[in-house]
Structure 1
Amino acid sequence: MVSLTDQAIAILLLTLRVVPAFGFSPPFTLLRVPAIVRILLSIALSAWMAAANPQHTWQSDFRQNGIAAAAIGELVLGIGLALALQFAFAALLTVGRSLDIQAGFGLAVLVDPTTRGQMPLVGTLFAYAAAAIFFAGDGLADMLAIWAASIEAVPLGTAAVTGDLGGLLGYLSAVFVIACGLGGSIMVALFLADMAIAFMSRTLPQMNVLLLGFQVKALVTLALLPAATGLSGALFVRLLRTALEAAPHLVTAR
């Protein structure tokens, strides 16, 4: 009876390590899945990991510092693992928003049906392209491997934040540089279009530069966006790989 109770408590605690990714982190939030399904999936994965690693889960001394402290530690660890993907997709949305403003789509936003939040037009395309690559490749298998490896590296009830600010800043700079590479060609083309229109306005003062600029930059963006997205598959993979590799380094054991 005690064993069953320990297993149940361990599974619920491990759920706090898994559920932040399914509930708050892209690409999982880009899919419109009911909350109860996300919770049940998290519990099922936690039960699988607890059954596969009994020494590091329900057989460990996770009650040493109290159930509440263990729950807080597991939640912090789960948030740390989910933040890696959050930052990667935030970089894509930020670059997409910059392209929207540069191309004249600053007022064009999309409503995310899952989070009910507003998302930039180009950034949404980048985010869904990254999500498609994540699910089509080894993204899910890598996430399962990270969760399973985290149990061995950080047994149940021993989670803590590393406080490695330098590593976090390095990761943030890396994902934003990669995201800028995805939209860099479009940014350069829009800058050249702005320069050309500026020179034309000097020679033809009577021309409506504002109206022409919107039309030209919109055409340039629509023409280059499919090509830039299609030719940037390696950058998408590199961005996701950087996020998955950085996730285990954000947390450690006490």
Structure 2
Amino acid sequence: MADYIQFWLASLMVALRLAPAMAFAPPFTLFRIPATIRVLIAIGLSFWLVAARPELTADRIAGRNLIGLLFGEVAIGIAIALGLQIVFAAIAWAGQALDIQAGYGLAMIADPTTNAQIPLAGTILSYVAAMVFFTTGGHYDLLSLWVVSVETLPVGYGTLRPDITAIGAFMGAAFFIAVGLVGVSMLAIFLADIVIAFLSRTLPQMNVLLLGFQVKAIAMIITLPISIGLAGALFLRLVRLAVWAPSSYWGHAA
């Protein structure tokens, strides 16, 4: 009976390191699946992880402080979810920068999944990144990361001391790569701005503001699919970075 209690407690503990990514992190939040269902999937996966490696999970909670174990598991779960959150935030930021440059920043669209106002290009890029994530096996990589986390940081390992330098380097790389996703579109719109500026000098009677919005909007519509098509390697790099970068800032046990 005690073994079953330890198994259930260990499964619930491990679920705390799976649930943050499943419930609150993209790309899972981009789909209209209730958070409760995603949490239940995380609990089911935690049972599988504990059953596969009981010596690293259930056998380590006997006689331990449950509150300390809870905080340790939540810290690991947040660290894993943070990688996905940062990468998709960088993608949305790049899309918003492109929207502002093209004039679409004046009109925001509402995401029915999150009920929040999000940029047009950022939405397109986020869903493309989600498609790349699942079609290239990112969900399997995430599952592998959870397995490695159980082997590297078993239940009861302790809370984390995050490596701030590694987190800063990861964020810098994510935002730098995200800019490359829209590089072609930004360059085309920048060249359109230069042409319109020259026209405003030679034809001062022209309504430059109205012309600029039209030209840049058309330029974005034409060049954004080209940017996405050319940025396949960058999308893949971001997906891999989101999954495996958290292992670099797990830090040491307290």
**Shorter-normalised TM-score: what interval?**
over 0.9
- AA aligned opposite 2:120: L
Structure 1 residues 63 and 70: alpha-carbon distance in aligned structure 2, compared to 1, 3 A threshold: farther
Partner secondary structure for residue 104 of structure 2: coil
Partner secondary structure for residue 82 of structure 2: helix
- AA aligned opposite 1:15: A
1:44-84 per-position Cα deviation (integer Å, ceiling 9, x unaligned): 000000000101100114642x1011111111110110000
After superposition, residues 169-248 of structure 1 pair within 5 angstroms as 169-248=168-247
Contact 2:71 2:159 (C-alpha < 8 Å) held by counterparts: no
Q: Which runs of 5+ in 1 are unaligned?
A: none
State the Cα distance separating 1:217 from its structure 2 match: 0.2
* RMSD of aligned residue pairs (Cα, Å): 1.2
Alpha-carbon separation, structure 2, partners of 1:138 and 1:107: 36
Alpha-carbon separation, structure 2, partners of 1:63 and 1:122: 52
If the length of structure 1 is used for normalisation, what is the TM-score?
A: 0.96
1:153 aligns with 2:141: no
Match of 1:58 in 2: 58
Contact 1:161 1:250 (C-alpha < 8 Å) held by counterparts: no
Match of 2:27 in 1: 27
Contact 2:98 2:186 (C-alpha < 8 Å) held by counterparts: yes
- AA aligned opposite 1:31: F
- AA aligned opposite 2:73: E
1:143-169 per-position Cα deviation (integer Å, ceiling 9, x unaligned): 000000100100102242232111111
Structure 1 residues 151 and 223: alpha-carbon distance in aligned structure 2, compared to 1, 3 A threshold: same
Contact 1:63 1:70 (C-alpha < 8 Å) held by counterparts: no
Q: Which runs of 5+ in 2 are unaligned?
A: none
How many residues are treated as equivalent by the alignment? 253
Match of 2:139 in 1: 140
Alpha-carbon separation, structure 2, partners of 1:62 and 1:162: 24
Alpha-carbon separation, structure 1, partners of 2:231 and 2:141: 21
Structure 1 residues 56 and 224: alpha-carbon distance in aligned structure 2, compared to 1, 3 A threshold: same
| Percentage of identical aligned residues | 47
Contact 1:12 1:46 (C-alpha < 8 Å) held by counterparts: yes
- AA aligned opposite 2:22: F
Match of 1:41 in 2: 41
Q: Identify the range of structure 1 (158-167 vs 174-183) with the bigger mean alpha-carbon deviation.
A: 158-167
1:105 aligns with 2:101: no
Alpha-carbon separation, structure 2, partners of 1:118 and 1:163: 32
